[in-house]
Structure 1
Amino acid sequence: MTLSHPPRNALALAAVCLTSLMFGLEISSVPTVLPILESVLRADFKEIQWIMNAYTLACTTVLMATGALADRFGRKRIYVASIVMFAVTSLICGLAQSAPVLIVSRFFQGMGGGAMLICQVAVLSHQFQEGRERSRAFGVWGIIFGIGLGFGPIIGGMIVAVANWQWVFLVHALISIVALGLVFAGVRESRDPHAQYLDVAGILTLSLSCFGLVYFITQGPDLGLGSPAALSIVAATVLSFIVFIFVEKRSPRPMFDFSVFRIRPFSGALCGSVGMNFSYWPFMIYLPIYFQGALGYTSVNTGLSLLAYTLPTLVVPPLAERLALRFDARRVIPLGMFTIGLGFLLMRFGAGMEQASWLTMLPGCLLCGTGLGLTNTPVTNTATGAVSPNRAGMASGIDMSARMISLAINIALMGFILLEGVLSYLAHALPGIGETTPLRWLAEKVAAGSIAQLTQHGAELAIADPHGVIVRAALVHGFDLVMRYGMICAWALALLSLVAFGSATRAHRQASARDERARHPST
C-alpha cells in the first residue's frame, strides 16, 4: 500500500511535519515574548503563567479524546478540524487586546494543538505501514518537531525584532493554510469500524483534577491557603481524582489502564518522562525572564542565549539511541535525568556569579539540553515498546498525558517558588517599602521581569533602590530557588526511575530465554 502511493505519502508527510513544526514553535517561541506581554497587555504574573498553562492544560484535555474521535469519525476529518481550530485560535491570540482574552484563546489553541499532535501520529501510522518507510517517516517527523522546539526561542525573538509580538501567533494562521492544502492532497481517510466508546467521564474528571491543582498553586496565596475557598478547591480536586480512578477501574475501555504500571520498564520510562517536566521544560518558560529581567537582554539576544539550552536536544538523541541499544534504556534514562540535574547545579553557580552573563550560564544550559536529549527518545521508545503492540497507543497516550499534566503543574509550581523567593528577598532587603506599595504586587512585577518599569514606579522605590540593584538581586534569588528545585526533582526522578526499572533487564532476559527454548526445544 505504501509503495503504491508515494506522491501522496510525501505530501502527507509534509503536512504532518508542518503541523508538528507549528506545535513545537507554539510551545517554545511564546516564552520569549512573555515579558513583552506583561507590559503591553498589562498582565500580572499569574496571568503570564496562565498564558502558558492554558495551552498545556488544554492539550492534556483533548489528548485521549482525540484518538477515540479520530478512530470513530475519521482521522483525516479530525485532523482537518484540528488544524482549522488551531489557525482560527492563533488568529484570535494575535488580535487579543487583553490578557484574559489571550488566555481563553490560548486554551482553545491548545485544544487544537493537542488534537493535531495525536492526529499526526495516527496519520503516519496508517499512511506508512512498511517497516523502513515507517521508520524513516517517524524519524523525519521527530526531527522537524525537535527543530520547532529547539529554534522556537530565537524565531520568537526575531519575529518580535522585525515585526511585533502578535506575529508569534499570527504566523500560524498563514502556515495552517498551506498545511490544509497538503492534508487534502496527501492524507487518506481512515477509521476504526470497531471504535464506539469514548471515555467522557475519565476525560472530565482528570481534566478537572489537573485544573484544580494548578488553580490552587497559582491562586492559593491570594485566596489564603487555609481559607474556605482554597480548601474547597483542594477538596474538589481530590474528589475529582478519586472519581477518575474509580471510573477508569470500572470502564470497559479505560484511557488509563493502571495495570501497565506493573510493567517495570514502562514505569521506569514514565518516571523519566515526568522528570523532564519537573525540571527542563517548565524552566524554559521562565528562563527568558531571567535573561531579560536580570541580565537586561533584548528578545533577540535572549533567543540566541536560549539556543544553548535547546540545541543539544536536537543533536544528542541519535547518540542516546545508540547508548540505549548498547547499555539498555534503564541506564540511559536515569543518566539523562542526572545530567539535567547537574546542568541546573551549574546554572545556579553561573547565575550567582558577580558578572553573570550568558557565558556563565552556558555550561549549565548545555548540560541540561544534553540530559534532555539523552532522556526524551529512549523514554518514548521504552514506554511504547514495553507493552504489547495492541496497547502501544494507550501507552503512548499515558506517556503524553503524563508529560502535559506534569508540565502544567510545574509551570505553576516553579512560578510559585520564583514569586515566593523574590517576595522573601524584598521583605528582607526593603523592610519599609510595603508601607505604601503592596509588597506582593512588587514581587509579582519583579518575578515577571519588569525591572526597568519598577525603578520608575515612585519616589519610595526610587530612593530605596535607584538603580534597580535590589530588585535584580531579588529576581536572581528567586531563580536560585527555582534552579535548586529543578535540580532536586531531576535527581529524585532519576533515582525513582532506577528503582522502578529494578531488575527489568533480568526479567527480559529470562523471557527471551524462554522464547528461545520454545523455538528450539532440542537445546
Structure 2
Amino acid sequence: MTAIHNPRNLIALAAVCLSSMMFGLEISSVPASLPALERVLQGDFQDLQWVMNAYTIAVTSVLMAAGTLADRFGRKRLFVISLALFGLTSLLCGLATSMPAMIAGRFLQGAAGGVMLICQVAVLSSQFSDPAERVRAFAAWGVIFGIGLGFGPIIGSAIVALASWQWVFLVHGPIALLTLALAQYGAVESRDPDAVKLDLGGMLSLSLAVLGTVFYITQGAELGFTSPAALAILLGSLVCLAAFIAIERRVPHPMFDFSVLRIRAFAGAMFGSAGMNVSFWPLMIYLPVYYHGVLGYDDVKAGWSLLAYTLPTLVVPPIAERLAQRFQPGWVIPGGLLVIGAGFFLMLWGSAADNASWLTLLPGCVLAGIGLGMTNTTVTNTSTAAVPSARAGMASSIDMSARMISLALNIAVMGLILLWGVDAGLPGVDDGERLQRAATIASGQLGSDDPERARAALVQGFGWVLGYGGISAWLFAVGSFLVFGAQRTTGRRLEVARS
C-alpha cells in the first residue's frame, strides 16, 4: 500500500490542506472587510494598514524560530498547538470592539499562523517518506493554499455582505476545530534528534527592525519624518538590523545563513520574491479602496472585480513550471516580474480612463495575475533547489521571511504613496486640515463637501501607487536578470553538452 493511500496519511494531508487554506484566506479575504472595519470600529487610514501589517510582521517574527521548535519538541505537537491558537486568536479578532484590540488580535493570529505554516511543511515532509508521494502531497497543499489566496477576496466580500465582518474571522473557529481533530488523528509525531538551539537574538532583532521601520513609514507623516521621535525610531530600527546581521554571522547555527546569497540561483530567486511583494501582493490591500471609493462598488461587486486579479495566479503556475524547465528560471522569474509591471501600467491607464470601471482595469489585472503566476511557484522551487537538500528548510524559511518582510514594508510604503498622491490632488485645502483630509480620502471616504474633487484626488493617489508598483517590479526584474546571469549561461551550456 502506497503512502498516499494510507488512511492516516490522507487525514493528515486533509488537515494540512485545510490549515493552508485558512492561512491563505487570512491574507486575501481580510482586505475585503477593511471598509466595514473602518466604519464599525471607527478606524483611520493608519489603523487599516496595521490590521494587515500586524499579521505579516508577526508571521515574519516566528517563521524561522518555528522550524527549530518543531524539530526539537515535535512537529505534530507544535502543529496541533498552532491550530488551536489560530482558532482562538481568530475569535479574538472577530470579537474585537476597537481598532487597538483588532490590531493586537491580528498580531497574535499572525504569530499562530506563522508557526502553523512552517509546521504544515514539516508534517508533510515527515509524513510522506516516498519522494513521488511527497511531491503529490505538496502539490495538493499548494493548490489549496492557492485557492485560499485566489478566492479570498470574493469569499471575504460575500461573508461581509451576507453576514457581517466579524465572520471573516469567526469562520476560522469551527474550521480550526475540524482541522485540529484531523491532525490529532492523522499526523504522525516526528522530531529531529540533532535540532539546533533556538536563535532567539536573531529572531528578536529582526522583528524589532521590521516593526520599527514599518512604524516609521506609517506614522511618519503624522509625527514628521524628521522629528526627533521619528528619527529615534528609525535609528533604533537600523541598530536592530545591524545587530541581526552581527548575530547571524557569529552564531554557530544561524536562522539566516548569509552565505546562501552567494548562490546566484538563490539570490536571483530572492529578487523575484521581493519583486512580487513590492507590487502585486500589497496592491491587493488598496484595490478595494479604489473599487469602493472611486467606482462606488459595494462589497460583493468589489470582491468579484478582484477575481480578475487573483484567478490567473491559480491557472498559470503549471505553465510556468514547464517554462522554467525549458528556458531556465533565470528567464522566467525576471519575465514574470516584467509582466507584473506591464499589468500595473495597464491598470494605471484603465484607472484614469473616462468612465473607468472594472472593465477598464480588467486587462491590467489579468496581466499582473499572469506575471505573478509565472513568478510565484518558480521562485519557491528555485530557492529550495539551489541549496543542498539538508538546507532546503532553511532556504524555504528565508524565502518566506523575505516575502513577509517585503510585504509588510510595502503595505506601508504604498499607503504612504497613496496618501502623498491624494494630498497633492487637494490644492486650496488648509495645511492644518490637509493631511487628515487626505488620510480620510485615501481610506475610500470621499465625504460630502466636494466629492468630485476628492474622487479625482483618490484617482491620482491610486495612479501614484500603480506607478510605484510597476517601476519597482521592473527594477527587481532587471536585478534578478543580472544576478541570474551566469546561472543562465551555465544552464545553456549544459543543455548544449547534453544534446
Normalised-by-shorter TM-score class: over 0.9
Distance 1:51 1:331 in 2: 36
Does the 8 Å CA contact 2:3/2:128 hold for their aligned counterparts?
Answer: no
The code of the aligned residue for 2:30 comes to: V
Q: Specify the SS of the correspondent of 2:83.
A: helix
Instruction: Tell me the TM-score normalised to structure 1 length.
Output: 0.93
Structure 1 unaligned regions, length at least 5: 456-461, 517-523
Does the 8 Å CA contact 1:2/1:129 hold for their aligned counterparts?
Answer: no
CA 1:469–1:377: 2 relative to 1, 3 Å: same
Tell me what 1:333 maps to: 333
Distance 1:82 1:190 in 2: 16
Post-superposition Cα deviations, 1:112-153, rounded to whole Å, max 9, x if no partner, equal 111110000000100012122111100000000000000000
Post-superposition Cα deviations, 1:468-502, rounded to whole Å, max 9, x if no partner, equal 11101110000000000000000000000001101
Distance 1:3 1:371 in 2: 35
Distance 2:74 2:132 in 1: 26
Matched, 1:500 2:496: no
The code of the aligned residue for 2:466 comes to: M
Q: Specify the SS of the correspondent of 2:252.
A: coil
Distance 1:177 1:94 in 2: 16
Q: Specify the SS of the correspondent of 1:502.
A: helix
Alignment of 1:79-118 (within 5 A): 79-118=79-118
Distance 1:202 1:51 in 2: 25
Matched, 1:396 2:396: yes
Tell me what 1:459 maps to: none
Q: Specify the SS of the correspondent of 1:503.
A: helix
Distance 1:129 1:111 in 2: 29
The code of the aligned residue for 1:474 comes to: A
Matched, 1:447 2:442: yes
| Displacement of 1:96 | 0.5
CA radius of gyration, larger in: 1
Tell me what 1:41 maps to: 41
Identity of aligned residues (%): 59
Q: Specify the SS of the correspondent of 1:438.
A: helix
Alignment of 1:176-191 (within 5 A): 176-191=176-191
Distance 1:361 1:224 in 2: 35
Alignment of 1:310-389 (within 5 A): 310-389=310-389
The code of the aligned residue for 1:220 comes to: G
| Displacement of 1:102 | 0.1
Does the 8 Å CA contact 1:93/1:169 hold for their aligned counterparts?
Answer: yes
| Displacement of 1:157 | 0.7
The code of the aligned residue for 2:430 comes to: G
Distance 2:84 2:334 in 1: 40
Does the 8 Å CA contact 1:2/1:128 hold for their aligned counterparts?
Answer: no
The code of the aligned residue for 2:190 comes to: S
Match of 2:472 among 482, 489, 508: 489
Tell me what 2:225 maps to: 225
The code of the aligned residue for 1:492 comes to: L
Does the 8 Å CA contact 1:2/1:127 hold for their aligned counterparts?
Answer: no
| Displacement of 1:196 | 3.9
RMSD across aligned positions (CA): 1.5
Post-superposition Cα deviations, 1:70-120, rounded to whole Å, max 9, x if no partner, equal 000000111011111111110010010111100000000000111110000
Tell me what 1:477 maps to: 460
Q: Specify the SS of the correspondent of 2:430.
A: helix
Tell me what 1:209 maps to: 209
Does the 8 Å CA contact 2:4/2:133 hold for their aligned counterparts?
Answer: no
Distance 2:321 2:110 in 1: 30
Q: Specify the SS of the correspondent of 2:425.
A: helix
Tell me what 2:3 maps to: 3
Does the 8 Å CA contact 2:265/2:383 hold for their aligned counterparts?
Answer: yes
Post-superposition Cα deviations, 1:418-457, rounded to whole Å, max 9, x if no partner, equal 011111111x2xx1x427x722111111000112xx21xx
| Displacement of 1:5 | 7.3
Instruction: Report how many residues are paired.
Output: 498
Match of 1:434 among 426, 430, 436: 430
Post-superposition Cα deviations, 1:39-98, rounded to whole Å, max 9, x if no partner, equal 111001000000000000000000000000000000011101111111111001001011
Distance 2:460 2:4 in 1: 61
Tell me what 2:124 maps to: 124
Tell me what 2:74 maps to: 74
The code of the aligned residue for 1:307 comes to: L
Matched, 1:418 2:418: yes
| Displacement of 1:507 | 3.5
Tell me what 2:21 maps to: 21
Distance 2:233 2:197 in 1: 31
CA 1:349–1:4: 2 relative to 1, 3 Å: closer
Does the 8 Å CA contact 1:417/1:481 hold for their aligned counterparts?
Answer: yes
Distance 1:251 1:511 in 2: 37
Structure 2 unaligned regions, length at least 5: none
Matched, 1:301 2:311: no
| Displacement of 1:224 | 1.2
Post-superposition Cα deviations, 1:244-277, rounded to whole Å, max 9, x if no partner, equal 1110000100011111111001011110011000
Q: Specify the SS of the correspondent of 1:201.
A: helix
